[in-house]
Structures are given as structure tokens and as C-alpha cells.
């Protein structure tokens, strides 16, 4: 009978902890953006369930120190709506990177890149 021991070094614990932090920020940002997006459209009389059904918010790490936030919504119907909503969501991303802002990538799609 062989008993296997797992040796845990300080480096492996640090690497694991770094990986968890790396995933934690995109999840946190996605939650904050979702809440802000819902608040923005609820103030315009849209039902929260409808907002979430027709909106997709993704936050992914594109590089070790860069995060991409993308908002796709069928509730953004024209450029003025998109610009106004982007400015509202800018308040969320600028808390983490003062130079970050949402830019219209296409109709109903806005993207921000953050250094984090």
C-alpha cells in the first residue's frame, strides 16, 4: 500500500491565491455592472426580469493586467441611448481604472478595457 503525500510549497499556495484573485475581480466587476445596468433601465420603467433576459454582460481577463467588459443589450436602440448608458456605466469602471470608459463597438454593444 502506497500513501501519497502532497507537498504544498509557499510558491504553489501563492500561485493558487493569485489565480483566485485573478478570477475574483472580473466576477466582482460583472456583478457591479449588472446592478448598475439594471438600475439605469429600471429608472426608465423597464422591468428587471426583461432587462436581464435581453442583456448579456461579460467580463474577461484578456491579459494578466487587463480586463475587458462587454455589454450587449437589445434595450439600447439608438446611439443616444448607447452613449447615455455608457456614460452611466463609466462610473463603475472608472473606480478601478481612471482612464477606463465604455465605447460603442456596434449597435447595442459597448466595450471597456481596464488595467487591473
**β-bridge pairing 66-73 and 109-115:** antiparallel
pLDDT tens string, the chain, 116 residues long: the values are 555 555 555 554 454 455 556 679 999 999 999 999 999 999 999 999 999 999 999 999 999 999 999 999 997 878 999 999 999 999 999 999 999 999 999 999 999 999 98
pLDDT value at residue 22: 63
**CATH label, 25-115, candidates 3.10.590, 3.30.980, 1.10.3470, 3.30.310:** 3.30.980
**Nearest CA to 93 among 75, 63, 68?**
68
Q: Where are the domains of the chain?
A: 25-115
Amino acid at each position: 500500500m502506497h500513501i501519497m503525500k502532497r507537498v504544498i510549497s509557499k510558491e504553489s499556495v501563492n500561485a493558487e491565491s493569485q489565480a483566485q484573485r485573478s478570477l475574483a475581480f472580473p466576477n466582482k466587476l460583472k456583478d457591479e455592472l449588472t446592478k448598475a445596468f439594471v438600475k439605469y433601465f429600471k429608472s426608465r420603467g423597464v422591468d428587471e426580469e426583461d432587462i436581464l433576459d435581453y442583456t448579456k454582460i461579460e467580463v474577461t481577463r484578456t491579459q494578466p493586467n487587463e480586463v475587458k467588459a462587454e455589454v450587449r443589450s437589445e434595450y439600447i436602440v439608438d446611439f443616444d441611448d448607447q452613449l447615455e448608458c455608457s456614460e452611466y456605466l463609466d462610473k463603475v469602471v472608472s473606480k478601478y481604472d481612471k482612464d477606463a470608459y465604455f465605447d460603442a463597438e456596434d449597435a447595442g454593444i459597448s466595450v471597456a478595457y481596464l488595467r487591473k
